[in-house]
Structure 1
Amino acid sequence: MVRCESCVSWGSVMRYKNVVSHSTWISLVGTLITVFVVLRLLILSFGTGSGELNVSWLPFFRRFVPNLKNVPGVEFYDLHNYQGDRDGWQRNNRILFCVPLRDAAEHLPRFFTHLSEMSYPHNLIDLSFLVSDSSDDTMGVLLQHLQVAQSQKDKTKRFGNIEIYEKDFGQAIGQSFSDRHGFAAQGPRRKLMARARNWLGSVALKPYHSWVYWRDVDVEIAPVSIMEDLMHHDKDVIVPNVWRPLPDWLGNIQPYDLNSWQESEAGIQLAETLVDEDSVIVEGYPEFATWRTHLAYMRDPGGDPEDEMELDGIGGVSILAKAKVFRTGSHFPAFSFEKHAETEAFGKLSRRMNYNVIGLPHYVIWHIYEPSTEDLKHMAWMAEEEKRRLEESRLRDFYNKIWEIGFNDVRMDWSDERQSILKNLDHTQSYQNQIIVDWSDNEESASTTQDHDATDQQDHEKFEDHQNDEVPLDFDPDNN
């Protein structure tokens, strides 16, 4: 038998080529599937969440949504749809508007005026109020204003979901400016406020909220577009600058919120020296010299309101944060976290979780002016001084009037009237109206009186002899 080597070689080559082609196709298909899965994951986790890329029109890129229409009492939320967009007012982002209230009845009318003027779509704003430890009629006034707000004929002015919670936390600190801002009260007060904020946020935050906005009730002036102004920066946590007006005698204006700051080396060293684990550093007090850079002092009235500044601690007057910040565990520590509590600790905790915390140094809102105890004492003194000055001015005007009346200069009047008086004076009758008084009580006095009478008779005769004499033109009876 003759063996054909060429045939054997050709058959081996054919079998080898078939094996190679089959493996190549398997590798190619596997590679395509891998690329598809990776792209799908990246697009769904990054693209649709940021709102910059939308490929939902492709069926194989759509997120899975279970059909629960026929299952009563079950709701499905894909939290990737509530990450918070920079143009949330155009993408139907719902905002949870959180407002802690305590003895706030006098501030609520102004607060609801601001609320009604906000340009963010009202139907996308859900209001949540926490009324706690109040001694005034905060609840009654709140219900009254909510009734008015939700009864407006223009339905676009009505708000979304509204929730009111009432819970006391045992506040033992007064509501006056000096009580709330006294140094000794800062640590306990801020820890209690943190508990109240966490309680409100935990019960009010819903899965469909994209943003959370915290606002104090005693803000006096704020832009109506504040939500859009903060939101379009697309930051995880962002705060404006906060100042307050002052009376002219106190300087007219003043930085208010010193809780928004950048950490300093002195602040870190100070925290390390506080061995008590419950110690809380508070800004703006001489007891704690941190030498930090404060957002409030970076304000330039002519600066760009879009300028940003990275922060470590933040104040609580006005905070806008993405809801995911709270969903992932950040909160307002009601304990000493890195020697801080409440909003300042919230800023530090959020940064520790790799969220960006930003402040706007030239974008300003204004807090109301609340006089301190020292201010009230000074104002009382100023009122007494004003009263004293008014009384002194009244007496001065009275004495000036008396002086003018009692010491009126009539010399010019006399110079005008003298000629008229002398012109009408009849000197010929002056001797005929003499009054003679007899002072005698004996004969000698009577004799003396008769002598005087004789002398007077002679003088009278002499006068009659000269009465026809001409009076010189330069005659002056006053001998002037």
Structure 2
Amino acid sequence: MIVLGLLSFFGILLLTFSRQGNFNRCRLRTFNSALAFSASTTQDQSQYINLNPLEATAHAKDNDEHVLILTPLKNAEVYLPRYFELVERLSYPKHLISLAFLVSDTDDNTVPMLKEKANQMLNPSNGNDRFHSVSIFEKDFNFVLPEDRRHEFEMQPLRRSFMARSRNYLLSAALRHEHAWVLWLDVDVVEYPDSILEDLQSVDVDVVVPNCLLKTEDGTFWGYDKNNWQETDQSLEMQKELDPEYVLLEGYFEFLTGRYLMVDMPTHLGRLNKVPLDGVGATFTLVKAHVHREGANFPAFSLFHQVETEGFAKMAKAMGFGVYGLPGYIIHHIQNH
């Protein structure tokens, strides 16, 4: 009886501690599971964004409409100081401006310079001058072209094809739901008015470009961006005989297209006098973001005999969007050798 009593006592004691240990272990597992569930809920919870109210209007500044400035770069360190000087002088509210860069096949200090400048723009001494965001992406295409050959006629279709891919990468990586406008800005544009965003927005069209001239020491008029143009009867007739894969290029004597270039249009009719265009460049091209969201991008293949920016204009017009230029609104580009 004594032995049986002792065995029963130790059995009950062992069972009690065993249950308590299991309870503690169970409680620990339950706590960890709760943390994991909480974290999972935070990361995976759905997000509702109503894009219906998002508009790009003629009164963008008054309506707090966000602008995304996109600039593809390659070995651009020499141009960045002036680029940022002009961007920071823009009269458009800084907290409504986002910048994004795609750096490709670069072996200079472009990326370190961008990182340093981005930190300054996001942490200014004056909080009112803080930009909404700055994003730096890097994507190499392993396309190497000697600088002295970048504007040769034979190099253009392949070069422009890689530029189109770069723009599409940048657009898809940077466009966010708050952006109402997209500005494509060349890093080597060296002169434009501080109010240019508000000026171009006031025209209230889907795609609009100013007239980009070459910066000269004596102030003489030399056209630079010859990718802004209108088709003519001559150019349309000529295209009927072309192979569908043939890419047309402007400003080259090797193949004259007969198009009406914006750099040859009258400039005295007012800065905001607009003309319809069939092709655009991207030295300074302002686009209502819905144009890109609905699928107009930069073809890296021959589309209506065009690639990249002019292909974008052709695509946008085929989708029913309006593409316009302002011959009297002058900006300046540096001479690239």
TM bracket, shorter-chain basis? 0.7 to 0.9
> What's 1:448 paired with?
none
User: What's the CA shift for 1:88?
Assistant: 1.1
- Report the structure, 1 or 2, having the larger helix content: 1
Amino acid of the residue matched to residue 51 of structure 2? L
Going from structure 1 to structure 2, the CA distance change for 1:71 and 1:199 (only over 3 Å counts) comes to closer
Equivalent of 2:220 in 230, 249, 252: 252
1: distance between equivalents of 2:60 and 2:158? 37
User: What's the CA shift for 1:148?
Assistant: 2.4
- Structure 1 residues without counterparts, runs of 5 or longer: 1-69, 373-480
> What's 1:282 paired with?
249
> What's 1:147 paired with?
119
**Contact 1:280/1:339 (8 A) holds in 2:** yes
Q: State the SS of the aligned residue for 2:150.
A: helix
> What's 1:157 paired with?
129
1:340 aligns with 2:310: no
Within 5 Å, give how 1:165-184 maps onto structure 2: 165-176=137-148, 179-184=149-154
**Contact 2:122/2:133 (8 A) holds in 1:** no
2: distance between equivalents of 1:155 and 1:270? 56
Between 1 and 2, higher relative CO (CA 8 Å, sep ≥ 6) is seen in 2
User: What's the CA shift for 1:143?
Assistant: 1.4
1:126 aligns with 2:98: yes
Equivalent of 2:176 in 206, 210, 217: 206
Q: Which has the larger radius of gyration?
A: 1
> What's 1:377 paired with?
none
Going from structure 1 to structure 2, the CA distance change for 1:246 and 1:77 (only over 3 Å counts) comes to same
Amino acid of the residue matched to residue 79 of structure 1? L
- Structure 2 residues without counterparts, runs of 5 or longer: 1-41
Equivalent of 1:351 in 306, 312, 317: 317
Within 5 Å, give how 1:59-458 maps onto structure 2: 73-176=45-148, 179-247=149-217, 252-275=220-243, 277-300=244-267, 302-370=268-336, 372=337
Amino acid of the residue matched to residue 363 of structure 1? Y
1: distance between equivalents of 2:138 and 2:116? 16
Q: How many residues align?
A: 297
- Report the structure, 1 or 2, having the larger strand content: 2
1: distance between equivalents of 2:271 and 2:87? 22
TM-score (norm 2): 0.84
2: distance between equivalents of 1:129 and 1:322? 19
**Contact 1:93/1:209 (8 A) holds in 2:** yes
Q: Aligned residues: percent identity?
A: 38
After superposition, give the CA deviation of every residue in 1:294-318 in whole Å (9 maximum; x if it has no partner): 1111142x43101000000001101
Amino acid of the residue matched to residue 191 of structure 1? S
After superposition, give the CA deviation of every residue in 1:194-238 in whole Å (9 maximum; x if it has no partner): 010011101111122111111000011011111111011110010
After superposition, give the CA deviation of every residue in 1:249-293 in whole Å (9 maximum; x if it has no partner): xx8331101100001122223323222x43210001122222111
**Contact 2:122/2:132 (8 A) holds in 1:** no
After superposition, give the CA deviation of every residue in 1:94-135 in whole Å (9 maximum; x if it has no partner): 111111111100000001101111111111111111011112
2: distance between equivalents of 1:327 and 1:358? 19
TM-score (norm 1): 0.60
Amino acid of the residue matched to residue 305 of structure 1? R
